[in-house]
Structure 1
Amino acid sequence: RPPAGAASVPIGRRRAHQRAQRVAPVGASGDVAALLFDCDGVLVDTERDGHRVAFNEAFKRKGLDHVWDVDLYGHLLEIGGGKERMTKYFNDVADREPFKSITDAAARAELVKSLHLLKTDIFMEIVEGGTMPLRPGVARLVHEAIDAGVTVAVCSTSNERAVSTIVRVML
């Protein structure tokens, strides 16, 4: 219960107001001082247009007849980590290659590891090629902010080399 005399604000609205106060503009004139972006899913859809495409290309280069479409990949994203994602998928389709003929757990893990390394190299080729589209409005917003003197930064827990390359190549 709020103390006597305190305004009664629903919890959700109170928390939203408290968040807004913490992230309010800090400039003396109320101007925005900085604009921070995440990379994955904000600047570009790296999962759909990068990692998924790279997984498919890795399968193709290794002669594996597997294609992850957008819907399947969306479900696979419920599994954290690329190697874990591949392992789960190949276990689910163990009646098909490569797990059909590779039954030893260590050999399966080694195959998944090598596929993941190839996938990572292909992903970097995609990033460096600049073929992942920016999300709508991102380039305009970033350039307008910079033109207005606002500091723009990207924060991410993703691979630093990939994020830096996305920023350098696409923005």
Structure 2
Amino acid sequence: MSAILFGSISTISDTSELQRQAFNQAFKAHGLNWCWHRAEYLTMLENSGGQNRIADYADSMGQTVDAEAIHRSKSEFFQNSLTESQVKPRFGVVETIQRAKSKGLKIAFVTTTAQGNISLLMAALQPSIQVADFDLILNADSVDRPKPDKAAYTFALASLGEQPDDCIAIEDNLSGLESAIAAGLDCIAFPNENTADHDFKRANHLVDQLNFEELQKFLAT
């Protein structure tokens, strides 16, 4: 193993509920009487793309909305919550990053979220996790095709100068998992609070916390 590729934001810090709350705040701000309750939101997370979720939901309600503007507002509310909330790393993430770096492994953050989200998350997680811990960080502008397309991982591997067989991806959602598989990577499923019940049968392994020794053993089999 020569590199560990973390997928979405919630593989590092579980922000899924903050995301859902930000959607509902954005709906209210745009005069919509929508409210995505948790049970409903869980099914939506089987597909990626917040703006697409808004547009699809509007269609299901027979309404016409500016999905891009609503999603932009959602991002603002989410970023505010990152500043105001006490977000923290998920179990085992800090230790895994530290052990990997001590062994000379590369660490990448292969997310396609907005750069503003990444910057505020990194600021909120300091000093436990810092930008300098990563050899590569992608954002929404890095590739034209979002997950589940393989573009993000293909770009990351090329940028790192690595081959899929020498790396492992860590993902918390099904679109991310499919993206990693399409790029030829083995993938560890590390579900977040709102994706824990999703079907990760295509993952190579399923965990509820990270452990560097277990990752090494898995790759050695």
**SS of 1:41 mapped into structure 2:** helix
The one-letter amino acid of 2:75's match is: T
Q: Does 1:61 align with 2:29?
A: yes
Q: Which has the larger radius of gyration?
A: 1
Structure 1 residues not aligned, in runs of 5+: 1-23, 26-33, 100-107
Q: Distance in 2 between matches of 1:61 and 1:131?
A: 24
Q: Deviations over 1:40-73 (max 9, x none)?
A: 3310234x22321210111233343322122211
Greater share of strand: 2
Match among 91, 110, 118 for residue 155 of structure 1: 110
Query: How much does 1:85 deviate?
Result: 0.9
Q: Deviations over 1:104-154 (max 9, x none)?
A: xxxx243x33222211111221223344443223234445656x4756543
The one-letter amino acid of 1:65's match is: N
Match among 126, 137, 152 for residue 81 of structure 2: 126
Q: Distance in 1 between matches of 2:93 and 2:119?
A: 16
Q: Distance in 2 between matches of 1:141 and 1:118?
A: 34
Contact 2:58 2:65 in 1 (8 A): no
Q: Distance in 2 between matches of 1:145 and 1:168?
A: 22
What's the % identity of the aligned pairs?
Answer: 26
- In the alignment, what sits opposite 1:81? 49
CA RMSD of aligned residues (A): 2.8
Greater share of helix: 1
**SS of 1:164 mapped into structure 2:** helix
- In the alignment, what sits opposite 1:135? 90
Query: How much does 1:35 deviate?
Result: 4.7
TM-score with structure 1 setting the length: 0.56
Match among 24, 45, 49 for residue 14 of structure 2: 45
Contact 1:126 1:132 in 2 (8 A): no
Greater RCO (Cα-Cα under 8 Å, separation 6 or more): 1
Aligned residues: 125
Q: Distance in 1 between matches of 2:109 and 2:100?
A: 13
TM-score with structure 2 setting the length: 0.46
Structure 2 residues not aligned, in runs of 5+: 130-221
The one-letter amino acid of 1:127's match is: L
Query: How much does 1:84 deviate?
Result: 2.1
